[in-house]
Chains A and B, each alone.
Chain A
Amino acid sequence: MEGGASYARMPRVKIRELKDDYVKFELRDTDASIANSLRRVMIAEVPTVAIDLVEIEVNSSVLNDEFIAHRLGLIPLTSDRAMAMRFSRDCDACDGDGQCEFCSVEFHLRVKCMTDETLDVTSKDLYSSDHTVVPVDFPDPAGMEGSENRGIIIVKLRRGQELRLRAIARKGIGKDHAKWSPAATVTFMYEPEIHLNEDLMESLTLEEKKEWVESSPTRVFDIDSVTQQVVVVDREAYTYDDEVIKKAEAMGKPGLVEINAKQDSFIFTVESTGAIKASQLLLNAIDVLRQKLDAVRLSDDNVDTTEQFGELGSHLGGS
């Protein structure tokens, strides 16, 4: 554009753990503003699909209609299609009443308890009109077999009670209502840099070393059983609590350890609700953030005439 120098950075990424609903990665060569914007976008601005409108035909359960509607809204639905869907408020094909395929998905639920045993109505009883948008299926964690997977409980029915309803799911974002948030938790921490002053450390007795190592609330340091030297076992366990620094000072050994937060390195953990994969959540967040940036560009009709004449124009044209 202007052809001038670019001040863009080239961040590096390293994935540590990658599961469907969890990703842990290192983000380097950028700053906290980017890390925090990504976190904020993941939580509040990546779209998903959630039940938004509920029409209850019959409800003789113990929960009232709005209680059930609220619970339905909170069920995560698979939302891989959400990025391509339209918000019903700017859907041209319908009046936003959610009757079209571009902006909504219809669900039906009809359950009646006919036995003396309590009947659980779960997310598995919801029938979707679209096989790509269905309640999230939680696979049993390994070892938890036996109890069959019954989905998310909506309400329990006794003999004779019935629940019949129609629900419409729409695209939305977490800023509107938390039910649309695809993120269970998103956190990042500064990567710590820990330097032990080994000379000073050697002036401590083994007892003192043990006492100092114990002073950390998390297990960051340990004593090598062979060399009896203090070693850093898990620097990321450090919670920036300053306890070891205070302890060193109390022991009369200030400067025993030096801990810095690296300002350009972050360790991210992203947990998804299951609506979209955790890795896709990050990619969608980047796309959403870029769209947001694109929207705040100065458009041509924003650039007033004074701009073309520079400062002089602004003085001539200014009132």
Chain B
Amino acid sequence: MNAPDRYERFVVPEGTKKVSYERDTKIMNAASFTVEREDHTIGNILRMQLHRDPNVLFAGYKLPHPLKYKIIVRIHTTSQSSPMQAYNQAINDLDRELDHLKSAFEAEMLKFSRDY
């Protein structure tokens, strides 16, 4: 009867930040972002989108433990950019892609229902 509440898997506890980051002290333009209550769904698309940015030298994510509901995204960029800039741009680009995908699907649905 000491099972944690199921919602703990996706509700960010009060007083915790959804996203926090820590710069690498030894390497320039490197940082680790800790994203609370997210998993592979967000981690993997972010990582793959970051790989499309030529200023990103390294991007990776990990789910440190299956019972710790957070991911860590590590980004290393060239001096032309910064990890925060790359992170923001990746999110903006993904948002744009999904926006496009939605309108493409809606247009296709309209076309499909007309044709058949």
User: Within the complex, what minimum Cβ distance (angstroms) separates B98 from chain A?
Assistant: 5
Complex-state Cα separation, A11 to B11, whole angstroms: 31
Establish whether residues B91 and A297, one from each chain, have CB atoms under 8 Å apart when the complex forms: yes
Residue pair B91, A2 in contact (C-beta under 8 Å): no
Residues of B within 8 A of A31 (CB): 48
With A290-B95, A293-B91, A296-B19 as given contacts, are A10 and B41 in contact (CB-CB < 8 Å)? Answer: no
Question: Within the complex, which residue of A6, A13, A283, A293 is in contact with B42, where a contact is CB–CB below 8 Å?
Answer: A293
B113 touches A8 (CB 8 A): no
Q: CA separation between A14 and B108, bound complex, in Å?
A: 6
* Chain B residues numbered 35-52 whose CB sits less than 8 Å from any CB in chain A: 35, 38, 40-42, 44-49, 52
Are B93 and A13 in contact, CB atoms less than 8 angstroms apart? no
The A-contacting residues of B in range 7-64, CB under 8 angstroms, are 7, 9-11, 17-21, 23, 25, 28-29, 35, 38, 40-42, 44-49, 52-53
Using known A-B contacts A15-B112, A296-B42, A299-B19, determine if residue A283 contacts B102 with beta carbons closer than 8 Å. Answer: yes
A contact residues around B101 at 8 Å (CB): 11, 13, 30, 34, 286
Say yes or no: B104 contacts A13, CB within 8 Å. yes
Structural contact, A289 and B98, CB atoms closer than 8 A:
yes
> Which stretch of A62-70, A172-180, A252-260 is in the interface?
A172-180
- By a CB distance below 8 angstroms, the chain A residues around B91 are 293-294, 296-297
Asked whether A1 and B89 contact (CB < 8 A) given A283-B106, A307-B84, the answer is yes
Given A1-B88, A7-B53, A89-B11, the answer on whether A286 and B108 have CB atoms closer than 8 Å is no
Q: How large is the interface on B (under 10, 10 to 19, 20 to 34, 35 or more residues)?
A: 35 or more
Known: A11-B101, A89-B7. A25 touches B108 (CB 8 A): yes
Q: Which of A298-318 contact B (CB under 8 A)?
A: 298-299, 302-303, 306-307, 310-311, 314, 318
The B contact surface, by secondary structure, is helix
Interface string of A267-292 (1 = CB under 8 A from B): 00000000000010011001101101
Would you call B95 and A292 a contact (CB within 8 A)? no
The minimal Cβ–Cβ distance linking B29 to chain A, given in whole angstroms, is 8
**A37-B41, A283-B102 given as contacts; is B7 within 8 A of A293 (CB)?**
no
A178-223 contacts to B (CB < 8 Å): none
Residues of A within 8 A of B85 (CB): 2, 4
Q: Determine whether A295 belongs to the interface, using a CB cutoff of 8 Å to chain B.
A: yes
Which chain B residue lies CB-closest to A173? B10
A282 contacts B105, CB within 8 Å?
yes
Q: In chain A, what residue has the closest Cβ to B46?
A: A296
Chain B residues with Cβ under 8 A from A15's Cβ? 105, 108-109, 112
A9 at the interface (CB under 8 A from B): yes
A279 adjacent to B109 (CB under 8 Å): yes
Contact with A along B76-116 (1 / 0, CB 8 A): 00000010110111111111111111101110110011001
4 extra A-B contacts, CB within 8 A, seeds A15-B108, A292-B41, A296-B35:
A25-B105, A292-B42, A293-B98, A318-B25
Q: Which residues of A does B touch, CB under 8 Å?
A: 1-2, 4, 6-15, 18, 25, 30-31, 33-34, 36-37, 40-41, 45, 89, 173, 175-177, 279, 282-283, 286-287, 289-290, 292-299, 302-303, 306-307, 310-311, 314, 318
Jot down 19 A-B pairs with beta carbons below 8 A, ordered by A.
A4-B85, A7-B49, A8-B96, A11-B97, A11-B104, A13-B105, A18-B116, A34-B97, A36-B40, A37-B42, A282-B105, A283-B102, A289-B41, A289-B98, A295-B18, A296-B91, A297-B88, A298-B84, A303-B84
Interface set of B (CB-CB < 8 Å, partner A): 6-7, 9-11, 17-21, 23, 25, 28-29, 35, 38, 40-42, 44-49, 52-53, 82, 84-85, 87-102, 104-106, 108-109, 112-113, 116
